[in-house]
Amino acid sequence: MHLNEMPYPPPADVLAAARRGLSDLHRYTDAEELDRLREQLAEYSEVPNRHIVLSPGSDLLLREIIHTYSKGRQVVVVSPSFFPTVQAAKQFATERLAIRLSPPTFDLGPDLLMKALEKRSLVIIDNPNNPTGSMLLDRQAVEVIVEHREVFLVIDEAYYEFSGVTFANMVADCPRLAIIRTMDKAFSLAGARVGYAIAGEAFLEAFSTFYAFLPQPSLYATLEALRNPGYMWKNVRQIIEERERLRETLDELGALVYPSSTNFLLVQTRAPDMARRLGDAGVLVSDVSNQLPPGFIRVSIGAREENDAFLAAFMEIRETGE
């Protein structure tokens, strides 16, 4: 319960499609099949095909964008944030600004962000945020940001299927806006490593030579999963129901649990070593004290029996004294 994966495996037809891809491992991916995947992702995202950029993982897209657009610009991120984004910003940015998200609301302070936009900037915001689970942007805020001609805005929508909030329909009219998504989470395809960008015109120029040859099993599995998104939406509803059950139970136990629009919960405990103690009990959660104060853990929502195992271990630790 530490990697934000979907606990339910892909359906049988998606697994069968991945197996078919194994028979073509000695071949490069056919360009026509990649075009077909772009078409299906464009239809799913309700955007024109030309705005879709494929990648073996959304983290690679984020890294590529930071590497390309950090030259001559400050890179603005939020803190805490998706850790690979933070690391890439540290590696490539000559000027970096981290806007702190503070409890209890973890809101994105508009004043500091607006001040940052006075410079040529690359702004990267995960919405919903990882690890807080909070929504940081609304349409009005996005409109204000993209009005700045010297600002490129990247919104990481890895948890779009859980939040239901997207700005993909703004990309066609906003050349300096890009949306990053993944098939890892809601579609149960973390092992396939398929990410994609919905990119505005300015980003498309940079990605004109970025060509992703996805592995055949990953390509076939993704194509099949997009043909029947109903299975994914059913799983998303189950995860949201379990998330709320877990949140209510933890709240009754006296833990401080933050609202979430994702498939995980941010929990504050009085034990700075709670992640380690849960691990000793056989339950893995994410220790996010590298970005937040001690005592914060991020708990991925699992299947019901996994969530019950977490609650049992949490209660036992609590009874023995946090």
Shared domain check, 150 and 85: yes
Reply yes or no: is the peptide bond before residue 80 cis, omega within 30 of 0: yes
Q: What six digits make up the tokens of 293?
A: 């104060």
Shared domain check, 123 and 103: yes
Shared domain check, 146 and 214: yes
Answer yes or no: are the C-beta atoms of 40 and 86 closer than 8 Å: no
**Alpha-carbon distance 147 to 283, whole Å?**
46
Q: pLDDT at residue 243 above 90?
A: yes
**Alpha-carbon distance 100 to 109, whole Å?**
8
Instruction: Identify the residue with better confidence: 260 or 93.
Output: 260
State residue 41's pLDDT score. Answer: 98
Shared domain check, 277 and 219: no
Shared domain check, 79 and 217: yes
State residue 322's pLDDT score. Answer: 59
Helices and strands of the chain, counted as H and E runs: 12, 11
In a domain, 2, yes or no: no
Answer yes or no: are the C-beta atoms of 216 and 29 closer than 8 Å: yes
Q: pLDDT at residue 116 above 90?
A: no
In a domain, 3, yes or no: no
Other CB atoms within 10 Å distance of the CB of residue 116: 17
State residue 110's pLDDT score. Answer: 80
CA dist list (Å): 299 to 19, 56, 170, 287, 303? 32, 26, 32, 9, 12
Choosing from 228, 256, 282, the residue where a domain stops is 228
What mean pLDDT is predicted for residues 62-83? 92
Write the pLDDT tens digit of every residue in 188-233. 999 999 999 999 999 998 887 777 889 999 999 999 999 999 999 9
Write the pLDDT tens digit of every residue in 149-199. 999 999 999 999 999 999 999 999 999 999 999 999 999 999 999 999 999
Q: pLDDT at residue 319 above 80?
A: no
State residue 93's pLDDT score. Answer: 86
pTM of the model: 0.95
Shared domain check, 283 and 179: no
Structure confidence at residue 264 as a pLDDT band (50, 70, 90): very high
Shared domain check, 144 and 61: yes
Residue 52: HSE in the Cβ half-sphere, 13 Å Cα cutoff: 22
Shared domain check, 130 and 242: no
Shared domain check, 117 and 245: no
**Alpha-carbon distance 35 to 190, whole Å?**
22
How many residues in total does the chain contain? 322
CA dist list (Å): 263 to 115, 180, 213, 299? 32, 17, 29, 9
Q: Which residue has the tokens 């194509």?
A: 223
Question: What's the chain's average pLDDT?
Answer: 94
Structural domains in the chain (count)? 2
Q: Which residue has the tokens 């983290």?
A: 59
CATH of the domain at 249: 3.90.1150.10
Shared domain check, 243 and 218: no
Question: Whole domain around residue 245: which residue ranges?
Answer: 231-319
What mean pLDDT is predicted for residues 104-129? 91
